[in-house]
Structures are given as structure tokens and as C-alpha cells.
Structure 1
Amino acid sequence: MTTSTHSVRLGDPADVLAAVPHLLGFTPSQSLVLVALHETSDTSAACGVTLRIDLPESENHSALAEYLVKGPLARQDATAVLLVIVGTDGREPDDADGQPGASPPTDHAAGEAGSLPYSGLAGVLAGAFREAGFSIWHLLWTPRLRAGGSWQCYDDPTCGGKIPDPKSSAMGAALAASGAVTFESRSELERLVAPESEELSARWSAKLNELIEESAREPAGARKDVELVLGAVARTAANEALTELDQLRVLLALSDSRVRDLCLSAALGDNAMAAEQLWLTLVRKAPAPEVAEVAAMLAFSAYLRGEGALAGVALERIESCRPEHPLGCLLRGALDAGVPPKHLESLTRDAIQDAKLTIDEDELS
């Protein structure tokens, strides 16, 4: 699941579909996309959290609907939802233009041969949300989210059309101006945080072992390690290149959870984007299991910016080598539950203060 919390105003359903890749950070496929809405009048609403979930098997439809109603949406104070199902069930391929065939396939839970793909899932979701008191502004289907692709409403055969080019949409233009990037697919996003090479990881692992032995002979102290990390962030913000040794020392410093927690403050200040750039560089170079700490820094930074997709793939790096990592587990739970970034920011400020007090006490004792 991925989340995003950019705010836009709803217009035509086609415009919302064109905005979905930007809300998520990538173009989804074979997915259920849920946009939580905060109604401002009978005819308009503001978008809140956006969630993406892999399309479930038919036996899991009810469980998914119950989870969404009682989990993420319960924390959002949403009053309505917009649902988009992207994909086909594989029984009948799209034509060369990505359009459905003359008789679209149905999912295993659908009852009528002429219904849209995944109409069984659509029916279960509609019933669950309405029973829970949510308005359903639209329940849409499209085989692919791309310019010129077709879309249709599940409950109104006359409601449908073509998707505008997401790259030229108002949402796309606004996010491009802010520096945000929308990836063509989730796999492209995964490659962003993938290790550069096995050879580099092995070399860094050996160098880290040497630095660990060196630090055991001449311990720097947590306070100096915090200064080292934040200094590296400041140098990155000033476009000053860091040497490989600089980067290795940052990685080693972050292995102290007190230092890591205090350096979470980098995501809250003026150098937040520079810090994220540094974390991303280190995530691609760091070996396992040391990558977990800097991947957690990247996930936290991305989460605060509402970039749930990037946070999600960073967390997957942690889960591949240290599945019980405390901060990683905390962030995964928050992401899956749709906890708003502002709420996480508030909790983090307390954790930063606790880390500072712990370091002060340890170094005074």
C-alpha cells in the first residue's frame, strides 16, 4: 500500500484519473486506488490521503473493504471516497490501444457476463462504504491509467470517457513546479533505491569494518556524530561533494539509534531536501544490514513530504535485511494505517527531544 496527501479540488472524473499518478508518485497498474474526500459542499470536495492496494483475490474482497473502512479512513475524518480500479482480470486482453474488448471480462466474483472487470470487488466496496456512512463520489474502472485510455463508471454505463494526458494535467504541472517526480511505474521507483552493485556493497562493508575498529579505539561520542551527520547534510545543501570516506562516516554514525533519531530533525528544517538527497545516495551504496538505518531516514523524509510511494520502497529495503527494525516497523505501521504526516511529525519531535536528553545524560555520566 502507498499513500499520498497532496490536496487538490475535484473536477471532472477524467481530471481526477489524470491526477492519480501524481498523487501516488507513480502510475499504478492492477491496483485499487482510493482517494479520501473531505466534502466542502454538495458538489465539491477536497482530496485527502490517497491509497493504492494490489487488486485482491475474490475471497479477500470483504476483508479488504472492512480494513479500509475501519483502518485508514477511520483516521482521516473523511466523509466520502472516490475509488478507481485499474486493470483487467486477465481473461480478455486489451486491444493495441489499451481499450477493453467488446465484452469486458469480469472477475471471479462478478455475476454478469457483460459487466466491467472486477465488478464483484466494486460491489463489495460500494456496499461496505455506504454501510459505514461514506458517500461514494465515483467508482471508476480503467484498464490502464494513460493518456487517451478509456474509463467508465461501474454504476452508470453512460458515465465514461477518455483520460487526459497526466503529464499535462493541472496536478502534474503543480507537482513538477514543486520539484516532485512522478515515475512511469512502481518498478522504476524501486530501481531508484536499488543497490548500485554487489561489488560496491562488498567494498563498503569492508571499509565499514575498518572504521568500526578505528572508532572502538578512539570513540567520537554521540554528540560529535550528530554534528558530523548534520554537517554532511549542510555540505550537501551547499552543493559540496562528499568523499566516500565522508559518506561512510555518516553511515557509521547513524548506526547509533540515538544519533539517528536526533538527525531525524533534518527532515523538519530548511535542508530537508538536501538531507533526503544524501539518504538516497547512501541507500544505493550501503551494504546490508547497515542500509537499514539510512533507509529509515529516507522513508521518514519521504513520508513527511507525502511521498508514500518512495517511503514504501525505502521500507522494503529495510524489510529485506532487518524485518524487525524498530523504526522501520513503526513507519510501516503508520504508512499502512494512513497516519497523516502531520501527526507523525508531532510524534517525531518528541522522539528527537528524547534522543537529545539521552545523549546529554550519557555524555555527562
Structure 2
Amino acid sequence: MQPQRGRAIPTAALATAADVIDIVPYLLGFHPVESIVIVGLSERNGRAPQVCLTARCDLPPAPMDPGAFSPLVAPLASTDSDCVVALVFTHHHPAASGDVPQHLHDVALACALVGLSVVDLLVVGQERWWSLTCTDSGCCSPGGNERRSTSASAEAVFAGLVALPDREAVRGQLAGQTRHERDRLEPALAKAENRLTEAVLKGRLSTSLRADLRAFTARLDRHPTEGTAGRAMTRAELARFGVALTHVEVRDELWFRVDERSVDADDALLELLRRLPPPYDAVPLLLFAWSQWRKGNGTLATMAGERALDSDPGLSAARVVLDTVQLGLNPARTPPLRSPSANVGTQRFG
């Protein structure tokens, strides 16, 4: 089971089950289908419940041992969550499929094993939803409750979050040119590789890489929005930056800058990962994944990290990103990759 971490939105206050259902697509970044979703909440200090972490996995086709849900549940135990809401998003009516309620009860047991109380178990259809814990027919009728928009989704939209139609729409953000189109960059990439080889022979590799990094970061300030005609990177630029990023010194320096948000590299990284052939697209995918995790978008971060490993299985740094997401670390509380004090008395690359 591969859980999919969602966005952490500590400012989202939830008062009802309808609020939780309404905001889940914004927490994940897409509308889940045939999915189990767990929303970790904090009810401390007498406040309205606050979202700490959201996790998702595919709805299993058959009942499973409750322990099988441990990878989904465990990360919530390391957050400020003190209770959870477990939901199944499905096209099946809960009365028509005995497996759906059983899945939710198994998730509830898995939560209890790590000390998390379950405040509600919800089955969510396309138009209606049901609570498996509410016995008040005046609140939750046997026919279910109508799905409706609430202030929770309005708050998510105000925070700049988007709920795409499905997971494939999220994955589509990483799609780009065909392999044939990408392979047309091979001559330019070979030329860029040869340039750095010559720099090595002349003892000027570090100087050349610094120049490449400066050129890339300078471009970030003027990188066009997607769709602006005539201003995409040239093949020579794509090759120059793609080759430079395969060098750890350049990669890590840009990683630090992305992490501390001293640069906004997302648009440029997207162009690189959409146009470069493997394995040159691996580092742009890695850096984009880290940027998305820092922004709370665990879904896209996971997809980009997995693609980075597919492109370059030897890129161990991509595993760091995936482990960070899978562990459910809070991006707002995780320390920066390097503290300011770490730079005292040292010269930064670039």
C-alpha cells in the first residue's frame, strides 16, 4: 500500500463532517475516487479542529488486516493530530458493499493502535454522504446527506489551493514533450558535456559551473509564464542547465536556495523536466518535488520524486524527498536544509 500524503493546512477550521468532506479535495490537490482518506485533526486549546495532515490510499478491492493500514496511519501519530476523520470516497452505496464499512472500521482500529481517536467514519458518494458513527436520524438519515459546498472549501480557495479533477490531472502537470522530441536535444547535450570536459582539463570546472548557476538563477527573475510565445529556453540553454544540474555542487546550491525560498524556480524547473530527456530531467524533478513538499503539496511532490527515481535510479536524493513526504513531516516545522549559522566562515558555491 502506497499512501499519498496531502497538503497540511493548519489554518483550516472544521466544524462539521460536511466541512471535512468539502475540503478533502483541496487538501489532496485532486478529487479522490475509490480512495481511503484520513484527515488528522488537532482539537487542542479549545479551538475548532485544525487540519494537521491528510493521507490517502487506493480503496482495496477486498478486506484487509487492520495492520495493512499502518503505513497510512503511522505518520499522523507523529504530528499534532489527536483525532482523525476517516473517509471512503466511492461510487458504491455503503449498503450495497459490505467491504466499504469494513475498510473504515479496520482503519479505525489501526488508528486506535497508535493512540488516535476516530471522531467519524464517513462514506462519500458523488452526490451524498453517510456517517457510520452517527445514530441520530435527524442528523444523518439512512438515505444519506447531500454533498454541498461549505466555508471550508472557500477558505482553501482563498489560500490559493486548487482541486484538480483526479490524480491523473495532477500527474499531467509533469507531462511534457514526447521522448522523440526530448531526444532531439542530444546533440546540444553532448556539446554541453564536452564544454565541461574541456573545463576539467583546463582546471576551470568550478568556474564554469558557477557561471552556469549564475546564468540559471538570473533567468529565474525573467522566466515567462507558461504559454508566453517566443521566450522558452533555447536548446542550448536547456542543455547547459540540464548538464550543470547533474553536478552535485550546482544541484545542492540550487536545492538550498529553493528550500530557503530565496528563488522561485518552479516555472523554470517545470520547463526543464518537461523538455529534457532522461536522466537529465531527474534533478529538475527532484528539486521541483522538494519545492512542492515545502509548499504542502505532498501529492505532486511524491509524483515528481517517483519520476526522478524512474529517470535516474541512482539519484539517492530523490529517495530523501520521498521519505520526507512518506514520514508526514510538517514542511512548516521541518528545519531548513542548512541554518544561517552553517554558512558563517564558509564561502557559498555560486
Q: Does 1:199 align with 2:190?
A: no
Superposed CA deviations along residues 85-118 of structure 1, whole A, max 9, x for unmatched, are: 1114xxxxx6xxxxx38x42221xxxxxxxxxx1
2:56–2:72 contact (8 Å) kept in structure 1? no
Q: Does 1:52 align with 2:38?
A: no
Closer, same or farther: CA 14–223 of 1 in aligned 2, 3 Å = farther
Superposed CA deviations along residues 20-54 of structure 1, whole A, max 9, x for unmatched, are: 11111111111111111111356721111111111
Pick the aligned partner of 2:102 from 120, 132, 136.
120
1:261–1:351 contact (8 Å) kept in structure 2? no
Q: Does 1:156 align with 2:134?
A: yes
1:72 counterpart residue number: 75
Displacement, 1:344? Answer: 4.3
Q: Does 1:260 align with 2:238?
A: no
Pick the aligned partner of 1:311 from 284, 301, 305.
301
1:30–1:86 contact (8 Å) kept in structure 2? yes
Displacement, 1:345? Answer: 4.4
> Residues of 1 paired with 2:179 and 2:59: CA distance?
33
1:264–1:352 contact (8 Å) kept in structure 2? no
Displacement, 1:350? Answer: 5.8
Pick the aligned partner of 2:86 from 62, 83, 104.
83
Superposed CA deviations along residues 287-306 of structure 1, whole A, max 9, x for unmatched, are: 11111111001001001000
Q: What are the within-5 Å matches in structure 2 for residues 211-360 of structure 1?
A: 211-219=192-200, 221-222=205-206, 224-239=208-223, 241=231, 242-269=233-260, 272=263, 274-346=264-336, 348-349=337-338
1:230–1:263 contact (8 Å) kept in structure 2? no
2:66–2:109 contact (8 Å) kept in structure 1? no
Displacement, 1:133? Answer: 2.8
Identity over the aligned pairs, expressed in percent?
A: 22
1:29 is paired with a residue of what secondary structure? coil
Gaps of 5+ in 2: 225-230
Letter in 1 for 2:246: S
2:39 is paired with a residue of what secondary structure? strand
Displacement, 1:357? Answer: 6.1
Closer, same or farther: CA 190–66 of 1 in aligned 2, 3 Å = closer
Gaps of 5+ in 1: 89-93, 95-99, 108-117
Letter in 1 for 2:175: A
1:36 is paired with a residue of what secondary structure? strand
Closer, same or farther: CA 213–13 of 1 in aligned 2, 3 Å = same
Letter in 1 for 2:178: S
> Residues of 2 paired with 1:25 and 1:358: CA distance?
39
> Residues of 1 paired with 2:272 and 2:98: CA distance?
45
2:170 counterpart residue number: 189
Closer, same or farther: CA 43–345 of 1 in aligned 2, 3 Å = closer
1:12 counterpart residue number: 16
1:226–1:263 contact (8 Å) kept in structure 2? no
Q: Could you tell me the TM-score, scaled by structure 1's length?
A: 0.80
1:72 is paired with a residue of what secondary structure? helix
Displacement, 1:156? Answer: 2.4
1:22–1:171 contact (8 Å) kept in structure 2? no
Closer, same or farther: CA 60–256 of 1 in aligned 2, 3 Å = farther
2:306–2:322 contact (8 Å) kept in structure 1? no
Superposed CA deviations along residues 115-164 of structure 1, whole A, max 9, x for unmatched, are: xxx111111122232343322222111134xxxx2111112253352222
> Residues of 1 paired with 2:293 and 2:258: CA distance?
10
Letter in 1 for 2:120: H
> Residues of 2 paired with 1:304 and 1:169: CA distance?
21
1:171 counterpart residue number: 155
2:53–2:79 contact (8 Å) kept in structure 1? yes
> Residues of 2 paired with 1:314 and 1:230: CA distance?
25
> Residues of 1 paired with 2:172 and 2:209: CA distance?
30
2:29 counterpart residue number: 25
Closer, same or farther: CA 223–27 of 1 in aligned 2, 3 Å = farther
2:110 is paired with a residue of what secondary structure? helix
Displacement, 1:282? Answer: 0.8
Letter in 2 for 1:253: A
> Residues of 2 paired with 1:229 and 1:279: CA distance?
13
Pick the aligned partner of 1:34 from 31, 38, 41.
38
Q: Could you tell me the TM-score, scaled by structure 2's length?
A: 0.83
Displacement, 1:223? Answer: 5.6
1:82–1:136 contact (8 Å) kept in structure 2? yes
Superposed CA deviations along residues 181-214 of structure 1, whole A, max 9, x for unmatched, are: 3311110111111231122211123321221122
2:228 counterpart residue number: none
